[in-house]
Amino acid sequence: FATVTFFKLAPRLLQTSNNKSSSSPNLKLWKYTIHPKNNAEKSFYAIWCERGLDKTVIETSPPTNECLSVKDFEFLAPFMDIDVAEQLWPENYLFADPFIF
């Protein structure tokens, strides 16, 4: 299958006399590299830009009781060993091709 590596880039402000009142953007950039174990295939990349919540939203948001379930992670099945995916989600048989959902 494949090995995935990723890292996060987040903006930081340099403390200078010109930008004391400035703030850095509340963004994070994630870069993923997927390295197929079959060396004949080329690696490919994915980039995800994440915007953080405003502090006021965090402070005023009530806690939720939502729980994640195994079903919530079914989107990862095409990138897993097919036998494991079929054990976790036996009702879905399209896991062999990562581009069929």
One domain, residues 56 and 80: no
Structural domain contains residue 80:
yes
Are residues 56 and 77 both part of a single domain?
Answer: no
51: in domain = yes
What is the tally of structural domains in the chain? 2
Which domain covers residue 21, as residue numbers? Answer: 2-61
Q: What is the pLDDT of residues 22-81, one digit of tens each?
A: 677 778 889 999 888 887 788 888 888 887 666 665 566 566 667 778 888 888 888 788
Looking at the structure, tell me whether residues 71 and 22 fall in a common domain: no
Residues 32, 8 within the same domain: yes
CA distances to 17, 55, 61, 63 from 73, rounded to whole Å, are 47, 28, 25, 22
Confidence of residue 21 (pLDDT cuts 50, 70, 90): low
100 lies in a domain? no
pLDDT at 61: 58
Instruction: Pinpoint the alpha helices (H) of 1-101.
Output: 55-60, 82-88
What are the φ/ψ torsions at residue 87 (nearest 5 degrees)?
A: -70, -40
Decide if 34 is inside a domain: yes
Query: Would the pTM count as exceeding 0.95?
Result: no
- Give the position of tokens 């402000």: 13
Q: Would 101 be classed as within a structural domain?
A: no
Pair 7, 53 in one domain: yes
51 and 90 fall within a common domain:
no
Q: Does 6 have pLDDT greater than 80?
A: yes
